[in-house]
Amino acid sequence: MVIFKDVLNKVMNDDKTMIDALNSASFLDFPDWTPLRKRIQTGKKTIMDHTLAMYGFLFKMDNYKRLNADLKLVLKIAVMLHDISKQRGGEPLHEIRCAERSNELLTKWGYSKDFIDFVYFLVRYHSYLGIISSKFGEYKPLLDELMNVLRKTKNFKDYILLLGLLNKVDVLSQYFVHDNVEMFKTDNTDRIDLLADEILSRLH
Q: What pLDDT does residue 153 have?
A: 93
Q: What is the pLDDT along the chain (204 residues), one digit of tens a residue?
A: 667 888 889 989 989 888 888 877 667 667 788 788 888 887 778 888 889 999 999 999 999 999 999 999 999 999 999 999 988 767 768 999 999 999 999 999 999 999 999 999 999 999 899 888 887 667 889 999 999 999 999 899 999 999 999 999 998 887 676 665 555 445 568 889 989 999 999 998
| Angle, alpha carbons 74-76-79 (nearest 5°) | 110
The one-letter amino acid at 117: D
d(CA 45, CA 131): 22
Q: Where are the beta strands (DSSP E) in the chain?
A: 40-42, 45-46
Delimit the domains of the chain by residue range: 2-203
What mean pLDDT is reported for the chain?
87
d(CA 40, CA 49): 9
d(CA 21, CA 17): 6
Q: In the CATH scheme, what is the code of domain 2-203? A: 1.10.3210
d(CA 7, CA 50): 23
Helix (H, G, I), strand (E, B) or coil at 45: strand
12-53 residue pLDDT tens: 998 988 888 887 766 766 778 878 888 888 777 888 888 999
Closest to 80 measured CA to CA, from 23, 136, 6, 155: 23
The one-letter amino acid at 194: L
- Residue 148 and residue 203 in contact, taking contact as beta carbons nearer than 8 Å: no
Question: What are the backbone dihedrals phi and psi of residue 46, each rounded to the nearest 5 degrees, phi first?
Answer: -95, 170
d(CA 141, CA 123): 19
Contacts of 17 (CB under 8 A, 6+ apart): 11
Task: State the pTM of this model.
Answer: 0.91
